[in-house]
Amino acid sequence: MTLTWDPMTGSLDLATLRRAFDGGLTPTALINAVYDRIEARGEDHVWITLFPREEVLARAADLEAKGRSDDQPFWGLPFGVKDNFVMKGVPAYSAVKAWKHIPQETSCTIQKLQDLGAIALGTQNMDQLGMGLVGVRTDFGIPASVFDKDYISGGSSSGAGVSVGAGLVSFAAANDAAGSGRVPPALNAIVGYKPTPGLVPRAGKSPAGMCGSDNMLTLSVADAVELHNAWFTWDPSDPNSKPEAEAFRITLAPIPAAFRFAIPDQQSIFFDGDAEAEKLFRHSVEVLKSLGGEAVEVDVSDYLTVARMLYEGVFIAQRHANFHQRFDQDPSALHPATAEILSWGAKWTATEVFKQMYIVNAAKQNFRKLLKEVDFLVTPTTPTTYTIARLEADNIRLNANMGSYTNFVNLLDLPAISVPAGRRPDGLSLGTMLIGGTLEDEKICRFGHALQSAMNLPVGITGTRPSEMI
């Protein structure tokens, strides 16, 4: 093994591992190292099905025997799979033990990653059915923040966020309907880029993922861009797929010398009383200003109203449509909060659906108008964070708070990216989110990359900084 990469603390970002492979690190040595890390962490409730070490080592040895090639750009890179993707022959639950089934196919996303040389370590914990932003609504134990075992990890991609933040995988396949691919990155000091809905295919997934966007949780914006560039595809079998995806690619060119961005005004910004969270957000704004930006305060209350509608309004009926047959058989099989929220989906009438769709369409027009004045909107990823105990005592209300800035993004057909904003004095991580116009993914990734580079904060718990990932 190369001496320039430490088996217990070395970063798993793409550039670092490729340098290590160039220096003599092998996929089998890497897999042994990450399994040692997993064992050292003990029971952290990240994994639902962790594949046996020997099974994964066999996959690594096969890659070694064939050698690196241009058609396998992710050769040897370990990754995690959120439990609402499916893998042939691997038990799938969507974090509901009673809903266990054995898939007969592998999700197109996971198959493609493996075809491109990446090595799956197993399926990862989540909020049941992808319904939650906190990581506590699961039958498989509660993953905690990598920074404090008493605090939530964020959800629904809880296992994914913890695994990347803890340095157990290079990236994790996840998805995002309300913020599931952005909230866990914020709380674990990593990156969550959520593409414009329809840019990545969603065929071959369990029904749990029928809303929103799939995405990858990564250590850097550069890694997110590379992974998604390999994934953008128009898939006619996916009714939500956009034809633009076929030729869609992102480049991380330098940002312009001057730009304008919107931030919530004092009347509409919300931190749930967390003064330290506000300080971190204000610092991110100042860094963007130092890069040439002009901040413009705007009223975001219309977007916050739409955010509440995702679960508290008619759009929960979409989740009910996906799951009602199984749910109606035995609601008690679900976490009480999941069951209660899902039950709300049956109460809405078609008239009420259309009324709220008009509100959403008005907010879309509002956002289009805003983008004539600014390049993108910047918000906190979450207003704050909570202890697991406090969250469990007030599950539905506090979960809704966590989605204040994330829930509306998919409903408005927008892309967003969360980058680390720093850590509060108690050591807990929060994020800053950039939201762009439909198909303006390149713009927010370029500015997100510039912000992450300028902040140069340690990523996850390994201590590696973006300046070291080049």
pLDDT digits (tens, 9 = 90+) for 192-247: 999 999 999 875 455 544 457 899 999 999 999 999 999 999 999 888 899 999 99
Query: Domains of the chain, with CATH numbers?
Result: 14-468 (3.90.1300.10)
Q: Which positions are catalytic?
A: 82, 156, 180
Please report which confidence band the pLDDT of residue 328 belongs to, taking 50, 70 and 90 as the band edges: confident
361: left (phi over 0), alpha (psi -120 to 50) or beta: alpha
Please report which confidence band the pLDDT of residue 317 belongs to, taking 50, 70 and 90 as the band edges: confident
Which residue, among 263, 265, 250, has the nearest Cα to 293 in the 3D structure? 263
Q: Are 381 and 403 in contact (CB under 8 A)?
A: no
Across the chain, how many H-helices and E-strands are there?
16, 13
When mean pLDDT is compared across 216-220, 334-338, 402-406, 436-440, the lowest value belongs to 334-338
E strand map for 266-367: 293-298
* Structure letter (DSSP) for residue 59: H
Q: Are 308 and 396 in contact (CB under 8 A)?
A: no
Determine the pLDDT at residue 211: 56
250-293 pLDDT tens trace: 999 999 999 999 999 999 999 999 999 999 999 999 999 999 99
Distance CA 260, CA 379 (A): 14
What is the percent of the chain with per-residue pLDDT over 90, rounded to a whole number?
Answer: 86
Q: What is the pTM of this model?
A: 0.96
Flag whether pLDDT at 94 surpasses 70.
yes
Determine the pLDDT at residue 205: 52
Better pLDDT: 18 or 352: 18
Determine the pLDDT at residue 327: 83
